[in-house]
Amino acid sequence: MKPFKLIAALPLALALSGCLEVEQHPAWIKGEYAGKEDPRHYQTLFHNDKLSWNAAIVNRNNQQNEYNRANP
């Protein structure tokens, strides 16, 4: 009798496990994103200056290049 109860309870447990899924996508109102707009790095750290942000990224990448660092 015990295996029959276990087999009968298994579909119920599987059916209820899918009901706890929470919606993780933000809402769209009138076809537009209704969430908070995230600022870009160049907007917050470099006062909206894309060129200085790009120069900082290129400089950081050059410092991480072993070929450039090893050659005297």
Residue 23 predicted with pLDDT over 80? no
Query: Whole-prediction pTM value?
Result: 0.47
pLDDT at 42 > cutoff 80: yes
Q: DSSP per residue over 6-57, as a string?
A: HHHHHHHHHHHHGGGPPP-SPPEETTEE-SPPPPPHHHHTSTT-HHHHHHHH
pLDDT at 43: 92
Stronger pLDDT, 10 or 20, i.e. the higher one: 10
